[in-house]
Amino acid sequence: MKSGIAGLRWTTLPYHRRWLMDQANGLFDFFEPHSIDPDGGFYVLDDRGEPILKGSDGGHAPPREIHSTTRMVHCFAIARLLGRPGADRFIDHGMAFLWNGHRDPVNGGYVWSVGKGGPGDDRKLAYAHAFVLLAASSAKLAGHPDADRLLADVTDVILTRFWDANAGASREEFNSDWSPIAGGYRGQNSNMHLTEATMAAYEATGDSMWLDMAESIAGLIIRRHAMACGGRVPEHFTEGWEIDRDYLGDPVFRPSGYTPGHWLEWTRLLLQLWELGGRRHDWIPEAARLLFANAVAEGWDQRHGGFYYTLDWHSRPQVKRRLFWPQAEGVGAAAFLNAIDGGDGYESWYRRIWDFIAGHLIDRDNGGWRSEAPEMGAAPFFQGKPDLYHDLQACLIPLLPTTGSITRGLLHHPPA
């Protein structure tokens, strides 16, 4: 269906804006009652919002992974800035576990996961440290008393262990003692999230170093590599930052081929970076438009709706499952492009993606979002319902200006 009356945007309609805020509140309502683990960190929740106390194999409870801890801090910092009572308890709990659970007091840095009756994973990953930086920055904007301590510590680790000034991007992974992991893998996903986090750190501190780092990563991943692939973001690289088309990694965090959800995520992050940097890089808007155009042309399931999880190197559907997070990132990308460029095309996609989410992912019986469209007939990638990071941001990004992050937007332009 076409977007309707020319110039009419859903994001300007009071009803739609209330609907978005209602969805955000519903996510908080789902995660608040049972997320806090009294032993530290946060439980993984099942489809009904109850803690998962055993793994999928019937063994120990899932370990407490750092991306979940940090995202809960980030999301409840947003809740605090929104004015939601009770948010401070979640920020306090997450910040304490980051410092006392995930932080390695012997070798420095932050471990990927802490076991819950079973083993954890003590690797030091760039992806994890990007989210620690995001959590610390969001907590600082929300006024948390421990934010400066965490921000100073993770800054030192990122600059001394991960940042490769010659490449203008981050190294990927180390063992617990900072010895290198064989293979020299470099990944765009960790660097994409470091771009998000360095922009947040720039907003929190005013230090232009962070903005320079974000622009450097975007230049390497998007201007150099994605544009050489016709506006498609390659995921995996060698130590020398050459594309590794033969890489076969973790199907959740490092799937092979292209991941169109990341093209959508980069669309929004690029435009946010362009605005935050004073619109000084002319290549950024055109790159963002091309990434979005390819994502909707090649990544969208024309028959059933929704974005595929992965494509092969010829942009053919590879993993056809439609996970929740690419749909959420599609909302943010369409909202940014619609606000900056306008036009019925972006408005149509904004509505189409929300229609898919409303029809397939929002769980009206149990609350929260399903982790993927349920009719695919395969066991889901994720046990239970993942944290609310992608979902919540999809609800709030359309309500705020494109000139910065959600936390900055809430500080200066709280939605009516």
Q: Verify whether residue 413 is a known catalytic residue.
A: no
Locate all alpha helices (DSSP H) within 219-282, ordered by sequence: 227-228, 260-276
Which residues does 16 contact at the CB level (< 8 Å), separation at least 6? 10
Nearest to 150 by CA among 202, 99, 90, 206: 99
Residue 281 in contact with residue 274, Cβ under 8 Å?
A: yes
Q: Verify whether residue 262 is a known catalytic residue.
A: yes
E strands in 203-300: 236-237
Residue 307 in contact with residue 330, Cβ under 8 Å?
A: yes
Question: What SS3 class is residue 99?
Answer: helix
Residue with tokens 């019925």: 344
Beta bridge partners of 164: 169
**Structural element, H or E, at residue 400:** none
Half-sphere exposure of residue 140: CA atoms within 13 angstroms, side-chain side: 21
DSSP assignment of 178-208: SPBPTT--EEHHHHHHHHHHHHHHHHHH--H
CA distance 24 to 27: 5
Amino acid found at 145: P
Catalytic residue (choose from 67, 193, 262, 360): 262
Q: Which two three-digit tokens encode residue 173? A: 């992974």
Catalytic residue (choose from 129, 225, 236, 390): 390
| Active-site amino acid positions | 262, 390
